[in-house]
């Protein structure tokens, strides 16, 4: 056993992120930290994300201050870990395939409660609210306290911004509970005139999010030779089975169609390796497991893509739990680093009320993305007779450097076949 000193670097929460702003340190120099501990809150164009770590270590030195903007890959802290072999995941930013994904233990992670912050200094706020509070240099903690400790919303921040009277000493400072660490709040008196002027620009920093998405898809379209395939999935059998299942369980255990669909896709990706992995430095590295990124729309625009690790091993019930947790965390702006990294393939769904078909852009360095259109009824000819069936138009966009249309077509064909036997999806894999 040797002691290993190394830097903790600003991680990348996605290929569209170039820098992050260190909102808050949750550890101090000298602290001993354990694998899975959240050490910092980092502000990105996707909102605030908690940085959890993959190792046991001691914090030797904090290299950046709260409020600092740091480029991806730059050191933010010096750590010392007592370890023999394991390499900290965050020091190796692009090679996320070997991420010790066990940090996502579905049986132990608690769903975020609307009343309770995950730890004492972290204020739950929606991404839009956090963005505006930072722009306006308002304290989220103070706003949270003024609103009975509810999750801070955009409207609360806007209200706080209006309430801010330039003549009163400081809204921010007086309402601050002790021990709460504030984000940037310099010059709250001197700048109040400027505040009034900048208030014209309200709402979420949509520009930053739009720019990040633009950078990613531009890179994807430039570097990845996409090909596209479309397959109509007959989900009637699946719908029937799902309906029977949902009628037989308590309401809290009902499943959404997405759960068995994602299970089917994840299990098939294990045997269709050309669609699951990363293309890095001119070479494809197939994933050892299926870490399925699931695109979630944010209210107010934009996307986050939390990752379901080892998705091929999940039962439909655990898949549903994972989805619930992700949506709830994305809405509350409390996503954790380990749940945003290491994706090997992405699924994006248009939802129940929307377009019948979507063609998606691959999220680099992944090599495939599966897009599911809205479920709807169609007249199909089966065995020379007309039938009304529930269908989903699924499309696959895949990387021609890694696979060909033939294997893509086989994957989609197998997916449709698997959905005709829904009972098998309810059996626990393995």
Query: Which residues here bind other proteins, judged by CB under 8 A?
Result: 114, 126, 128-129, 150-155, 243, 246-247, 251-252, 254, 256-258, 297, 299-300, 323-324, 327-328, 331-332, 351-353
Compute the Cα dihedral for 373, 377, 378, 383 and give only its sign: positive
Q: Of the two residues 89 and 322, which places its CB atom closer to other proteins in the complex?
A: 322
Task: Report the nearest approach of other proteins to the CB of residue 114 (Å).
Answer: 5
Q: Of the two residues 264 and 320, which places its CB atom closer to other proteins in the complex?
A: 320
101, 338 contact by CB (below 8 A): yes
Task: Report the nearest approach of other proteins to the CB of residue 329 (Å).
Answer: 12
Is the preceding omega at residue 365 within 30 degrees of 0, hence cis? yes
Task: Report the nearest approach of other proteins to the CB of residue 255 (Å).
Answer: 9
Q: Of the two residues 98 and 155, which places its CB atom closer to other proteins in the complex?
A: 155
The three-point CA angle 57-62-67 to 5° equals 130
Give, as one character, the DSSP assignment of residue 312.
G
407, 401 contact by CB (below 8 A): no
Which tokens hold the place of 335? 């996503």
Task: Report the nearest approach of other proteins to the CB of residue 421 (Å).
Answer: 22
Which tokens hold the place of 169? 């000493």
Which residues pair with residue 261 across a beta bridge? none
Q: Of the two residues 117 and 327, which places its CB atom closer to other proteins in the complex?
A: 327
Task: Report the nearest approach of other proteins to the CB of residue 154 (Å).
Answer: 6
Q: Of the two residues 332 and 346, which places its CB atom closer to other proteins in the complex?
A: 332
Residues written for the chain: 430
Q: Of the two residues 39 and 318, which places its CB atom closer to other proteins in the complex?
A: 318
Task: Report the nearest approach of other proteins to the CB of residue 348 (Å).
Answer: 13
Task: Report the nearest approach of other proteins to the CB of residue 123 (Å).
Answer: 12
Q: Of the two residues 21 and 332, which places its CB atom closer to other proteins in the complex?
A: 332
Shortest CA distance to 60 belongs to which of 43, 78, 45? 78
CB atoms within 10 A of CB 218: 12
**Helix boundaries (H) for 224-315:** 236-248, 258-271
292, 308 contact by CB (below 8 A): yes
């Amino acid at each position: 056993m040797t002691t290993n000193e190394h830097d903790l670097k600003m991680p990348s929460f996605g290929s569209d992120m170039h820098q992050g702003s260190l909102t808050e340190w949750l550890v101090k120099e000298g602290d001993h930290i354990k694998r899975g501990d959240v050490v910092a809150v980092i502000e990105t164009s996707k909102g605030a994300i908690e940085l959890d770590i993959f190792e046991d270590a001691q914090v030797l030195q904090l290299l950046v201050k709260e409020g600092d903007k740091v480029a991806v890959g730059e050191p933010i802290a010096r750590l010392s870990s007592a370890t023999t072999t394991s390499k900290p995941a965050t020091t190796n930013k692009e090679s996320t395939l070997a991420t010790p994904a066990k940090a996502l233990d579905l049986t132990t992670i608690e769903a975020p409660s609307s009343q309770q912050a995950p730890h004492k200094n972290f204020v739950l706020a929606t991404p839009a609210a956090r963005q505006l509070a930072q722009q306006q240099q308002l304290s989220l903690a103070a706003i949270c306290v003024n609103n009975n400790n509810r999750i801070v919303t955009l409207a609360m921040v806007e209200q706080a911004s209006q309430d801010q009277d330039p003549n009163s000493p400081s809204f921010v400072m007086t309402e601050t509970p002790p021990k709460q660490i504030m984000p940037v709040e310099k010059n709250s008196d001197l700048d109040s005139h400027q505040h009034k002027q900048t208030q014209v620009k309200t709402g979420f920093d949509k520009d930053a999010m739009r720019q990040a998405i633009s950078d990613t898809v531009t890179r994807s379209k430039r570097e990845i030779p996409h090909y596209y395939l479309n397959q109509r999935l007959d989900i009637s059998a699946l719908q029937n089975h799902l309906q029977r299942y949902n009628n037989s369980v308590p309401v809290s255990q009902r499943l959404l169609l997405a759960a068995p669909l994602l299970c089917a896709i994840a299990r098939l990706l294990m045997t269709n390796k050309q669609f699951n992995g990363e293309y890095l430095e001119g070479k494809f590295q197939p994933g050892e497991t299926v870490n399925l990124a699931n695109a979630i729309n944010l209210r107010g625009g934009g996307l986050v893509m939390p990752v379901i690790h080892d998705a091929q091993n999940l039962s439909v019930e655990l898949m549903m739990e994972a989805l619930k947790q992700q949506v709830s965390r994305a809405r509350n702006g409390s996503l954790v680093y380990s749940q945003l990294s290491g994706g090997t393939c992405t699924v994006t769904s248009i939802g129940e009320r929307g377009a019948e078909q979507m063609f998606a852009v691959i999220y680099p360095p992944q090599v495939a993305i599966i897009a599911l259109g809205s479920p709807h009824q169609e007249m199909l000819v089966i065995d020379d007779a007309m039938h009304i069936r529930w269908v989903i138009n699924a499309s696959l966009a895949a990387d021609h450097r890694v696979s060909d249309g033939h294997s893509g077509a086989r994957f989609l064909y197998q997916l449709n076949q698997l959905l005709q036997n829904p009972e098998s999806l309810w059996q626990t894999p393995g």
